[in-house]
């Protein structure tokens, strides 16, 4: 199993991100505060959805999501996933 792609909407520094990942090695390079850790947290959210929550929303936004596109034999690890996409919708509560 591997994560083939990551989509983020209104998460931290990303208004809209859609990246494809290699099955082998992926290297994240960027300046400080450019979003490298956000991508790692998003990929880790498949094991612990609490890694990304409402406090990670872009300022002024009320909704967003993390979407992970899976490939390979992931059904034995995530039998409840229909299709090959795991999506976590995130919304801020009304203040």
**Predicted confidence (pLDDT) per residue in 54-73, tens digit:** 999 999 999 999 999 999 88
Query: Which residue range(s) make up the domain with 54?
Result: 2-91
| Per-residue confidence band for 1, with pLDDT thresholds at 50, 70 and 90 | confident
- Domains contained in the chain, number: 1
- What pTM value is reported for the model? 0.88
Which residue, chain included where needed, has tokens 């390979």? Answer: 72
- What's 70's domain CATH number? 3.40.50.300
Residue 2, both tokens: 């591997």
Backbone φ, ψ for residue 67 (5° rounding): -125, 125
């Amino acid at each position: 199993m591997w994560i083939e792609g990551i989509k983020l909407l209104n998460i931290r520094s990303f208004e809209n991100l859609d990246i494809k990942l290699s099955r082998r090695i992926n290297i994240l390079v960027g300046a400080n505060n450019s979003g490298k850790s956000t991508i790692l947290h998003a990929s880790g959210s498949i094991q612990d959805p609490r890694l990304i929550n409402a406090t990670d929303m872009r300022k002024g936004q009320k909704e967003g999501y993390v979407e992970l596109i899976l490939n390979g034999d992931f059904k034995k690890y995530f039998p409840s996933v229909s299709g090959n996409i795991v999506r976590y919708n995130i919304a801020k509560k009304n203040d």
